Amino acid sequence: MLLLVLLILLMGAAVGWSIGANDAANSLGTAVGSRVLTLKQAIVLIVIFGFLGAYLQGAYVTKTIGKGIVPLDQLDKQVSMYIALVASFAACAWVVLATYWKMPISTSHSIVGAVAGAGLAVGAPVKWKMLLDIFICWIFTPIGAAILGYIFFRILQNLFYRFLPRKYIKSIVFFLVIASGCYVAYTWGANDVANATGVISGVGVLNPKMSIIFGGFAIVIGITTWGYKVIETVGSEITRLLPIMALSAQLASAVNVHLYTLFGIPVSTSHSIVGAICGVGLVRGIRVLNFRIMKDMILCWLATPFISGIISYMTLQAVRIFVRI
C-alpha cells in the first residue's frame, strides 16, 4: 500500500509538472508575444501568482475532480487508489506529448477524461450528469472568452485613445498588461491545480490543503523547466498582438475562468486564452488569424478527453491482469 501511495504522489507531481509546462502560456504568453515582458520576467510572475491562486482558491475545483466525476471517497480504498494512479498517468502522458508538439491543450479535459476512463475500467459509478455539465461549460469557455475579448478591446481602445493623454497611453497599457496577466496566472492556479491534486485529495493520500500546496510546487517546477515552449505558440503564432490586444485578451480570459472556478467547474484556461485572443483578433478582421495553427489546436482539444480516457481505460485493464482490483 505504501508503494501505491508513493506512486500516486509521484504521478500527481508529474501531472502538476505537465500543467506548468503546458499551461504557463495561458497567463502571460500574450504579454511576451506583444513584447511587454521578456520570457524570463513572465515566468517569474506566473510562478508567484499561479501558486497564490492554487493556495487561496484551489479547493473549489479540487472537490469536483476528486469526488464529482467518480466518487473516489466512497469506493474500496485499493480500487480508488488505482483509479487515481492510472488517471494521473494517462493525463500526464497526453499533456506531455501535446507540450512536445507545442500545442496548448486542456489539462482539465485530460484529467477529467482520464478519471472517467479509469472509473469505467473497474465498473465504478461515473457521474454522467456532472460530466455533461462540465462538457457544456467546455463548449462555452472559448466562445465566452472570445466575446469578452472582443468587447473589452472595443471598450479599452475607445477609452484609452479618447480620454487619456497620448504620452501616457503606452506606460499605462504596459502596466495593465502585466497586471491582467498576473490575474490570469492567479485564476489559472486556482482552477488548474485540481488537475494535479484532485485525485490525491479524493483518495485521502493528502488532505485538501496539503495536496494543493504539493500540486502548486509541482506546477512551479513545470513552469520553470519547460513552460517556454507553449508560451511561444500562444504569444505569437495565433495572431500578431499589440499591447492593448494582449491586455484585452488576458482580462477576458481571467474573468471567464474565475467565474467557472467559483462554481467549482474545471474548465480549460488554454481554451479561454486562445478564445480571447481570437476575439480580440477579430476586431482587426478575420484575416489576421492563423487558421492553420487554430485548426491544429481545435483538433487536439476535441481529442484530449477521449485520448486520455482511452489511455486510462486500457492501462487500468492491463493492470488488472496482474493485480486483483
Range name among 73-77, 163-167, 170-174 with the lowest pLDDT average: 163-167
Q: What average pLDDT score do residues 303-325 get? A: 92
What pLDDT is attached to residue 20?
84
Q: CB-based burial of residue 127 (10 Å sphere; 0-12 exposed, 13-18 middle, 19+ buried)?
A: middle
Q: What average pLDDT score do residues 64-69 get? A: 86
Q: What average pLDDT score do residues 140-147 get? A: 93
What pLDDT is attached to residue 311?
95
What pLDDT is attached to residue 294?
67
Neighbours of 71 (CB within 10 A): 16
Q: Which of 285, 152, 293, 295 is nearest to 236 (CA)?
A: 293
Q: What average pLDDT score do residues 55-65 get? A: 88
Residue 108: which pLDDT band, with cuts at 50, 70 and 90? Answer: confident
Per residue in 38-49, pLDDT (tens digit) is 878 888 898 899
- Residue 50 grid coordinates: 499561479
Q: Tell me the one-letter amino acid at 128.
A: W
User: What is d(CA 151, CA 279) in angstroms, rounded to the nearest whole number?
Assistant: 8
Determine the length of the chain.
Answer: 325
- The answer, yes or no, to whether residue 232 has pLDDT greater than 70, is no
What pLDDT is attached to residue 290?
61
User: What is d(CA 282, CA 16) in angstroms, rounded to the nearest whole number?
Assistant: 33
Q: What average pLDDT score do residues 27-44 get? A: 79
Q: What percent of the chain has pLDDT over 90?
A: 38
Helix axes 25-33, 166-202, angle to 10 degrees: 160
Segments making up each domain of the chain, as ranges: 2-322
- 3-state SS, the chain, equals CHHHHHHHHHHHHHHHHHHHHHHCHHHHHHHHHCCCCCHHHHHHHHHHHHHHHHHHHCHHHHHHHHHHCCCHHHCCHHHHHHHHHHHHHHHHHHHHHHHHCCCCCCHHHHHHHHHHHHHHHCCCCCCHHHHHHHHHHHHHHHHHHHHHHHHHHHHHHHHHHHHCCHHHHHHHHHHHHHHHHHHHHHHHHHHHHHHHHHHHHHCCCCCHHHHHHHHHHHHHHHHHHHCHHHHHHHHHHCCCCCHHHHHHHHHHHHHHHHHHHHCCCCCCHHHHHHHHHHHHHHHCCHHHCCHHHHHHHHHHHHHHHHHHHHHHHHHHHHHHHHCCC
Quote the mean pLDDT of the chain: 85
